[in-house]
């Protein structure tokens, strides 16, 4: 017997159907007819524009006064070195927003992306070509890396860097592709309900699952002013009903091994019998820093990961959610 609805159907399923290092496919369903694209399109826009990445914004090449200059003993001129540098993908692993790295090479040598790695900086395209140095050549470069969003032209970066550096276009976006499709599906006797299939691919600096979460968090943040003005609770932060609180709890029960942490950070946590994300979220910074063998670099990485997931260390969970989380972790670890 058909009924007259008084509220739209809310989707109940979120499934990761494929997950690789730099690519993942998500399915969300079922949506009322017409509702799927209403949610999918803004999430896609926010994923492409608001996810934070790391990129070189300036370079100083010893012996090159301008971008059309050449360096003795180096096959590439300064312009080609700049193009090659833009193809090297970096990740700042610490909490700093800006890092300067200095590298020096003598020939004969083919300089790859991996040769530009430094403390606090990971190169996720280690085989990317940067320079070819002849036998009598020498190359010294200073590179400024910064965290940011989207694309910033070199003209805007020029005033943000020290004198003597060549400004680069800031290509911060870590997302290679964010596509979605809408599929019809049958719910009860209605064949017009919808499913969103999201495909996300990255350049390797961030896990696709974290990309999707960042996009969703950005969408919620954009609606917070309406929540406050209209007296509507932010379901993500406060848990307006049981279903939403259960979804937050589900996220907090992600295992440490699924967070994409470095081996050192992962091992420090697991050796301290920390299994779930929620156990880390329940710690304040002093507690977290006391985890055995957890150095500053690993601490900074974990703090950055928590911030990406929407749980910065300086913010506490709502009391009710924290209580439910402790009880559930105690039950699981038995």
Q: Which CATH class for the 1-50+174-222 domain?
A: alpha beta
For residues 133 and 243, which has the higher predicted lDDT (pLDDT)? Answer: 133
Q: Give the tokens for residue 55.
A: 């990129």
Band (pLDDT 50/70/90 cuts) for residue 326 is confident
Please say if the pLDDT value at position 226 is more than 80. no
**What's the CA gap between 104 and 101, in Å, rounded?**
10
Which of 150, 64, 72 lies closest to 107, judged by CA? 72
| Domain 53-171 -> CATH class | mainly beta
Q: Does residue 320 have a pLDDT over 60?
A: yes
User: Region 169-180: what's the mean pLDDT?
Assistant: 94
Task: Please determine, for residue 308, whether its predicted confidence score (pLDDT) is greater than 90.
Answer: no
Q: Is the pLDDT of residue 29 over 90?
A: yes
pLDDT > 50? residue 239: no
pLDDT digits (tens, 9 = 90+) for 201-212: 999 999 999 899
Please give the average per-residue pLDDT across 83-91, as a whole number: 95
Long-range contacts from 327-332, C-beta under 8 angstroms, 24+ separation: 328/249, 328/253, 328/278, 329/253, 329/275, 329/276, 329/278, 329/279, 332/253, 332/275, 332/276
- pLDDT at position 240 is 42
Q: In what order do the strands lie in the sheet with 166-167?
A: 98-106, 138-149, 52-61, 166-167
SS3 sequence of the chain: CCCCCCCCCCCCEEEEEEECCCEEEEEEEEECCCHHHHHHHHHHHHHHHHCEEEEEEEEEECCCCCCCCCCCCECCCHHHHHHHHHCCCEEECCCCCEEEEEEEEECCEEEEHHHHCECCEEECCCCCEEEEECCCCEEEEEEEEEEEECEECHHHHHHHCCCCCEECCEECCCEEEEEEEEEEEEECCEEEEEEEEEEEEECCCCCHHHHHHHHHHHHHHHCHHHHHHHCCCCHHHHCCCHHHHHHHHHHHCCEHHHCCCCHHHHHHHHHCCCCEHHHHHCCCHHHHHCCCCCCHHHHHHHHHHHHHCCCCCCCCCCHHHHHHHHHHHHHHHC
pLDDT of residue 95: 78
Confidence of residue 228 (pLDDT cuts 50, 70, 90): low
Structure tokens that stand for 288 in this block: 């977290």
- Residues 283, 218, 225, CA angle at the centre, nearest 5°? 95
pLDDT band for position 243 (cuts 50, 70, 90): very low
Read off the pLDDT of each residue in 55-71 and give the average, rounded to a whole number. Answer: 93
Angle at 270 between CA 277 and CA 319, to 5 degrees: 30
Return the minimum-mean-pLDDT range out of 79-88, 148-157, 218-227.
218-227
pLDDT over threshold 70, residue 245: no
The whole-number average pLDDT for the span 144-156 is 94
Q: What is the CATH topology of the domain spanning 234-334?
A: DNA polymerase; domain 1 (1.10.150)
Give CA separation, 188 vs 2, 30, 243, in Å. Answer: 11, 11, 21
Q: How far is it, in rounded angstroms, from Cα 22 to Cα 154?
A: 28
> Could you tell me the pLDDT band of residue 328, with boundaries at 50, 70 and 90?
confident
pTM equals 0.66
> Domain extents for the chain?
1-50+174-222, 53-171, 234-334
114, two tokens: 């991996």
Neighbouring-strand partners of residue 185: 193
Query: What average pLDDT does the segment 231-256 reach?
Result: 61
């Amino acid at each position: 017997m058909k009924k007259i609805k008084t509220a739209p159907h809310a989707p109940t399923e979120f499934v990761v159907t494929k997950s690789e290092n730099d690519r993942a496919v998500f399915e969300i369903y079922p949506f009322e007819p017409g509702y799927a694209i209403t949610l999918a399109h803004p999430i896609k826009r926010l994923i492409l524009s608001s996810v934070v990445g790391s990129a070189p914004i300036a370079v100083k090449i010893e012996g090159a006064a301008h971008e059309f200059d050449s360096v003795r003993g180096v096959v590439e001129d300064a312009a080609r070195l700049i193009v090659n540098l833009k193809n090297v993908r970096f990740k700042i692993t610490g909490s700093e927003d800006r890092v300067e790295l200095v590298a020096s090479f003598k020939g004969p040598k083919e300089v790859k992306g991996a040769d530009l790695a430094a403390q606090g900086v990971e190169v996720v395209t280690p085989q990317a070509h940067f320079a070819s140095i002849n036998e009598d050549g020498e190359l010294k470069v200073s590179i400024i890396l910064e965290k940011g969003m989207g694309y910033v032209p070199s003209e805007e970066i020029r005033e943000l860097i020290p004198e003597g550096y060549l400004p680069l276009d800031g290509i911060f976006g870590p997302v290679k592709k964010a596509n979605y499709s809408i599929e019809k599906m049958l719910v009860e006797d209605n064949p017009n309900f919808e499913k969103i299939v999201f495909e996300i691919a990255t350049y390797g600096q961030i896990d696709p699952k974290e990309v999707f979460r960042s996009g969703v968090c950005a969408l919620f943040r954009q609606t917070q002013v309406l929540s406050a003005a209209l007296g509507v609770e932010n379901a993500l932060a406060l848990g307006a009903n049981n279903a939403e609180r259960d979804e937050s709890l589900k996220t907090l029960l992600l295992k440490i091994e699924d967070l994409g942490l470095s081996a050192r950070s992962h091992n420090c946590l697991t050796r301290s019998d920390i299994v779930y994300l929620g156990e880390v979220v329940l710690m304040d910074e002093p507690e977290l820093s006391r985890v055995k063998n957890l150095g500053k670099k690993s601490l900074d990485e974990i703090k950055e990961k928590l911030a990406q997931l929407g749980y910065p260390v300086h913010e506490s969970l709502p009391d009710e959610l924290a209580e439910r989380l402790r009880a559930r972790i105690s039950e699981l670890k038995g």
